[in-house]
Amino acid sequence: MSGLFVCLIHYPVLDRNGRVVTAAITSLDLHDIARSARTYGVQAMYVVHPVASQREFALRVIDHWRLGYGRLYDSRRREALELIEVVPDLEGALRASESVAGVAPLLVYTSARASGGVSCAQLRAHLDSATSLPLMLMFGTGFGLAPVMRERADLVLNAIRGPGDYNHLSVRAAAGIILDRLVGRER
């Protein structure tokens, strides 16, 4: 399997009215997505935020579990949060992932509204190929990634669809579902 990276983006994202905004980092997103990432063998998780005080907040949460009392309290959480690197922008995440994988990953845009792109099955086949490039899944906070991020992407992943019309998953749930579809296995 080629490399798989997760990038949780807080800017540029949309608010409920479709305006481009910067969303706040939540500790729930850090914990839950990192745990999914660790479960599914993701090489690294990048948290992108342009505001220094928000990056410092994320580092305090992470360091509590890596270095503080949390390290002794729950080593499994520490192990998951060790995957996280906090960076100011997507370019920082790309540089870091390239240093891990030896080559720049393909950027994969995810959205609850995306269509006309690739399926999880197609991405899974890509990951299973011995000659494929690594992938970086971009997940947007707020009400999803801004359109400029779709333009920046190499691939667009079709939206997760349930049996009905309702489609408003949390970024944590969407990340877990997509990771399971890409690299999960049945017992």
Domains belonging to the chain, first-starting first, are 4-183 (3.40.1280.10)
Query: Residues 163, 173, 4, 63: what is their CA dihedral angle, to the nearest 10 degrees?
Result: 180
Helix axes 27-39, 171-183, angle to 10 degrees: 10
Question: Does residue 61 carry a pLDDT above 70?
Answer: yes
pLDDT band at 66 (very low <50, low <70, confident <90, very high): confident
Residue-level pLDDT at 78: 85
| pLDDT, position 41 | 96
Q: What is the tens place of the pLDDT at every residue in 111-157? A: 998 788 999 999 999 999 878 899 999 999 999 999 999 999 999 99
Averaged pLDDT for residues 76-84: 89
pLDDT of residue 69: 64
Inform me whether the pLDDT recorded for 187 exceeds 70: no
Q: What is the pLDDT of residue 167?
A: 86
- Give the residue carrying structure tokens 């999914």: 36
Answer yes or no: is pLDDT of 72 > 80: no
Using pLDDT thresholds of 50, 70 and 90, give the confidence band for residue 71.
low
Q: Average pLDDT of the chain?
A: 93
Give the range among 44-58, 110-124, 139-153, 168-182 with minimum mean pLDDT: 110-124
Q: Is the dihedral of CA 135, 141, 143, 149 positive or negative?
A: negative
Task: Tell me what pLDDT residue 64 has.
Answer: 85
